[in-house]
Amino acid sequence: MKIFKLLAVATLSATFTLSVAQADTLEISVSKQAPDMQTISRPHNGMDKADVERVFGAPYAINGPVGEPPISSWSYEKFTVYFEGNTVLHSVLVKPKTAE
């Protein structure tokens, strides 16, 4: 009887584990998420911080640097810029705030 209970528990555990492990991942590119925002001018890879500030103005928030190499981000109203040291790695659009 103990073996039967042990097998039943093992079977249920395996079934539960397999059902939890299966998940779908939906990936939607930024261009598909906000096609109307794709024309927004934003910093490009390789720019330095001085150029970003000269072209786009001062950010409303600065985060970091964190880690090695030092990664920091500057937040603007419509995008966030990520830097490695003094160089732009990437800029990403910020989801517009919706009226509630």
- Collect contacts of 16-21 with beta carbons under 8 A, ≥24 apart: none
Residue 64 is part of which domain span?
29-93
pTM of the model: 0.63
Query: To which H or E segment does residue 57 belong?
Result: none
- Establish if 22 belongs to a structural domain: no
**SS3 at position 76:** coil
Residues 9-59 have pLDDT tens digits of: 566 566 555 555 566 776 666 556 566 667 788 898 999 999 999 999 999
**The tokens of 100 are what?**
């509630």
- Establish if 15 belongs to a structural domain: no
| Contact between 26 and 33 (Cβ < 8 Å) | no
Alpha-carbon distance of 39 to 14, in angstroms, equals 50
Residue 82 has pLDDT above 80, yes or no: yes
Give the list of residues 6+ apart from residue 46 with CB closer than 8 angstroms, or none.
87, 88
- Establish if 49 belongs to a structural domain: yes
